[in-house]
A and B are shown apart, each in its own frame.
Chain A
Amino acid sequence: MKRNLLIAVVTFFATAMAFPAGSKESGNTQRVVTTVCRASYANEAWYTKMNADFEAETGIHVDVTPTPGNDDDHDAKVNIDLLAGGTVDVVESLGAKNYTIRNEGGFFMPLSKLVAGSGVDAETLWGVNLPKNAQGEYYGIPFKQEMWCVYYNKDLFDAAGVPYPSGSWTWDDYIATAKKLTDATKGVYGSFMQADTQYMYLPARQKNVPFYKVDGTSNFDDPAFAEAITWYKKLASVQGIQMSVSDLNAEGASWNYYALAGDHLAMFPQGNWFVRLLNSQKDYPRSWKYGVTQLPSTGADGNNNLVSQASVSINKNAAHPKEALTYMLWIAQNQWRYEGGIPALATLTPEQQNAAFSAVASASDGQVTVSNLYDAMLDNGMGVVDSDIVGTAATEYNNIVKEEVSSFCMDLQSLEDTIAHIVSRVNDAIKSAR
């Protein structure tokens, strides 16, 4: 019996070894470029179409590897892979924070010479948006800008008899509107903001209060931040217009929650990238109509919209550097058309603006018009500030704020303690990072 077992095991072993050989069937000489993407992108139609068009135009096949997990996991995994000397060719970094972290790790190739050699005029196209360092060298090209706006559920507004929000408004207006829409008995909330750091410091960010003091330590003890996180907490606990942090955790509310559960959530401030989820009936089937308006301001002193740039870079250890350059430049100039975002070009001609928004407007089947989008995102009379924390130990800073403010919102610690914890932990992190 045992001999048979042994034979069976060895045979299985032998046949199993044949499998890895079989899966690497790249006998053809087709040109290939590799990249990583978030798990969600891999299944969305625009992403596959974009890569298919690239292949049709250049003959280079795009080999996409999705990473498992949510956004934080994706960023961590990409960093780990780059640290491990991975040979992925092209890497997209969403937000200045991720770009800075990866660049400081020395993962990216310097681009000024490469781009000049390919005949593309980076200065004219992207100008000041290029993340240049003190020597004028840059390691990534911005391919889209994300502006924040407020999405709202038109059906809920209709049912409550409230006129749609439009034009400039303040957070007090927002709260008042949300109260009219909230109906706790039906489980309807006027506002939805996840337990994400950007919401927690939103008003302070709009007032452009810096995260770091001049000497490099944390500036979170600035009273503006204390005000901001109290404001965030009160949205749930006092105003009652949105779910508490505990409820959000229980729901497992992640990045795409509003598209899945927006039928009972009236308003949702977020970046314009979210529009691609709301436009995709296939991926996120919904029965309710959405509208778009601009982000509220805190008043005259905080009339700024949140903006975040995404850049594309080439890995220093890229396996196919030539194809990587082609793909990177193509992405930088064309990605926005497919995802329905706003390009990060230095100047946007009216035709380009129209192109950016009409694609989105037509994909929405009339739920939003070009002028809705234009008014909400570009022509809103607001300045711009970066939505992320950028600087020393930025990831840790971000996580510490999220952890401590979540505890504060769950009534586990007082406001003073929260601020004190954040400042001391962040300063520790900054010290170790130096």
Chain B
Amino acid sequence: MDRRCKGEERTAWLFITPFLVMFAIFKLYPILYGFLVSFWNRNAASRMMDRSFVGLANYLKVLQSASFWAAFGRSLEFSLVYTVTIMVLGVMLAVLLNRHFPGRTFVRTCWYIPYVTNMIAIGIVFRYLLNPSKGPVNALWRVFGTSGPQWLNDPHLALPVSAVIGAWVALAFTIITILAGLQDIPKEWYEVADLEGATFWQRLVYVTLPALVPTLFLMLTIAIINSFRSYTTIVGLTNGGPGTASMVLSLQIYNDAFLYQKFSIASAEGVLFTAFIVLINQMVVFGRGRWEKD
């Protein structure tokens, strides 16, 4: 038994080492390196290989910079709209698509397809569709003689609209997972509800949703993490938006690093951003723990 255990351990390490080595070099090291760079002074092209330690100077500069907080606020707004949209739409569509009806597979496919298309293509199409003066979407308003909303060119709408489009693209994952969760709900529960004369809404609220809570919490975690992945969505749709209306933090990091060559500042922003995401994640986990205690 002892020999087998040790042999097992050796084999395990043999099997897992290639992965761990690749991971350590190409994924782990950059994260730690980013942390290091944020403590150096690489804020100009001429100082690219600088290694002088400046302590928390970069962090202080970032935390005192109004544009950082503005960008951070925009990332939060994007995340909020994205998360709410994807959870609400995801649950609604999953519940609707759970019923049998002719053409169900076709309808499901239609809602899954955006997930496999790339965000730049979606950006091109939606910029065309949402053109305020000529695009098809505003044709409805043009029929009545008024000019429709400016969509991606309106400083107040650009960010929420981008978040909704981003959520629509990522729906497939949510719908499929919730559908799988719905399959697990025992039929008897619904039969009991029907016996007691429950309406559609009552079934939803008292049977379906409570049973889905574990799945929903997990989807929430994933949705929140993905909601901060806004760089490609914004670049595809508005490229920072009218003025700075949709300049989210990822875009700010890119500009600081590659337009202005302030690498250490951009690293510090990245570290702060990651710390925040980890914090939010912990809060969700904590919230789930409290919920399950009830």
Contacts and interface: CB of A to CB of B under 8 A. Distances in A.
Do A and B touch each other in the complex, judged by CB within 8 A?
Answer: yes
Given A104-B46, A250-B132, A79 B242 contact: no
Contact residue range for chain B?
20 to 34
A407 B243 contact: yes
Contacts of A410: 155, 242-243
Interface stretch (B22-30, B175-183, B258-266): B258-266
Interface stretch (B31-39, B59-67, B201-209): B59-67
A246 B45 contact: no
Nearest to B130: A250
A216 to B, nearest CB: 15
Contacts of B281: none
A233 to B, nearest CB: 13
Nearest to B262: A432
Tell me the interface secondary structure of chain A in the complex. helix
Contacts of A76: 258-259
B61 A105 contact: no
Nearest to B254: A76
Interface in B192-218: none
A189 to B, nearest CB: 14
B43 interface: yes
Contact of A407 (B131, B154, B155): B155
B46 A249 contact: no
B243 A79 contact: no
Contacts of B43: 432-433
A246 B46 contact: no
A399 B255 contact: yes
Contacts of A406: 242-243
Given A104-B44, A249-B153, A410-B242, A429 B260 contact: yes
A428 B155 contact: no
Categorize the interface residue count of chain A: 20 to 34
A299 to B, nearest CB: 31
Contact of A424 (B66, B133, B155, B262): B66
Nearest to B65: A428
26 contacts: A72-B259, A76-B259, A79-B258, A79-B261, A80-B258, A83-B48, A104-B44, A104-B45, A106-B46, A246-B150, A246-B153, A246-B154, A250-B133, A250-B150, A250-B153, A252-B127, A395-B260, A410-B242, A412-B155, A412-B243, A421-B66, A428-B65, A432-B61, A432-B265, A433-B44, A433-B262
Interface of A: 72, 76, 79-80, 83, 101-102, 104-107, 245-247, 249-250, 252, 393, 395-396, 399, 403-404, 406-407, 410, 412, 421, 424-425, 428-429, 432-433
Closest 9 CB pairs of A and B: A105-B45, A407-B243, A406-B243, A250-B153, A403-B244, A249-B153, A396-B260, A249-B242, A250-B132
Interface of B: 43-46, 48, 61, 65-67, 127, 131-133, 150, 153-155, 242-245, 247, 255, 258-262, 265
